[in-house]
Amino acid sequence: MRDTSNDNRENNLEGSLLFPDVSPIVGKKVRRYKRISEPIWTENKAKFIQEYLRFFVQITKHGAYIDGFAGPQYFDKPDAWSAALVLASEPKWLRHFFLCEITQRGLKALRKLVASQPEARDRQGRRIVRNIEVLPGDFNTSVDKILKSGKISQKEATFCLLDQRTFECHWETLRKLAKYKKSPHNKIELLYFLGVGWLHRAFSGIRKRDKADRWWGRADWKELKERTSWEIAELVRKRFEEELGYRAAAAYPIYDKAQGNKVMYYMIHASDHDEAPALMVRAHRRAVRSLPKELQRAFKFGGRRR
């Protein structure tokens, strides 16, 4: 039986372990950033993503956006829909959008969203050409179509959101995304959601081993059953750096306040860009400040790191 004695304490301690050391970059001084002290809840994770991309395009002045699982997860909560918030974000310097979805209901919502988009214009009123594609089917297949299309140049800043439903995103898909850009260009930036809130339960429900094999990319995923949620997130974070070759990766906890501030997700953010960690911290602060005042209180973490 799995030892769960640390699980309750884990929810209180994980936030204090939020920012692992950024991998050193040869010849450059490693920046230090304050740890996040306030939570992002599940219903606000889309705002977190929107704020980050908004800050980043102010530096890049261009960009492509890939959403591997783009349909709304909550059809009754349009403000929690990442694709809608990213399309609406200002300034409108993201020019190429690839919105992927496998469910018919999600595809219908995406097509309606795209059709409702107003003509994009800059602050001087000039028309901005944007290309928005909705791709039906399994993202693990659609990713090949996107990358082989030649529509994303090596120089174009590119972001990929992977808000998967447990085991949907294959590790091989992550490899393809990480390998697409060639040096000296920065890799496609990944925003990968790891659903730890139900992961152990999902392991117990697996009937076809190859499903988990494809998700984890190795046959040793059963060992994860004995790991805590934070330990699994840390393993994924390290694999993004060591196997996928990203300069820096960090795990950001996403909480569910309805379940006693339980960590439901970790957003694993992987980037080659020197400014990315600082921008993510700024995005978190903005996302928190945009919440109702009664939810903006500092989140107090108990205990010490052991």
Q: Are 305 and 10 in contact (CB under 8 A)?
A: no
Distance CA 94, CA 89 (A): 9
Token code pair at residue 123 = 């602050």
The pLDDT assigned to 19 comes to 41
Q: Which CATH architecture has domain 7-295?
A: 3-Layer(aba) Sandwich (3.40)
Tell me, what's the pLDDT at 148? 97
Residue 165 near residue 135, CB atoms below 8 Å: no
pLDDT tens, residue by residue, 229-271: 999 999 999 999 999 999 999 998 888 877 778 889 999 999 9
Going by C-alpha positions, the residue among 66, 222, 91, 70 that lies closest to residue 146 is 66
Is a pLDDT exceeding 90 seen at residue 300?
Answer: no
Q: Note the pTM of the prediction, 2 decimals.
A: 0.82
Question: Starting from the edge strand earliest in sequence, which strands make up the sheet with 158-162, in order?
Answer: 40-41, 248-256, 262-271, 189-194, 158-162, 64-67, 96-101, 131-136
Contacts of 269 (CB under 8 A, 6+ apart): 189, 190, 191, 192, 249, 250, 252, 276, 280
Could you tell me the pLDDT band of residue 80, with boundaries at 50, 70 and 90? confident
Domain ranges of the chain: 7-295
* Mean of pLDDT over the chain: 82
Q: Which residue type, as a one-letter code, is found at position 265?
A: Y
Which H helix or E strand runs over 263?
strand 262-271
For range 97-101, the mean pLDDT: 98
From 19-23, 120-124, 170-174, 220-224, the region with the lowest mean pLDDT: 19-23
pLDDT at 2 (0 to 100):
44
Residue 129 DSSP label: -
Give the number of residues written for the chain.
306
Residue 249: per-residue pLDDT: 94
**Confidence label for 165 from pLDDT (cuts 50, 70 and 90):** confident
Residue 304 pLDDT > 50, yes or no?
no
Contact of 116 with 158, CB cutoff 8 Å? no
- Asked whether the predicted pLDDT for residue 174 surpasses 90, the reply is yes
DSSP symbols for 163-223: ---SS-S-HHHHHHHHHHSPTTSPPPEEEEEE-TTTHHHHHHT---HHHHHHHHSSTTGGG
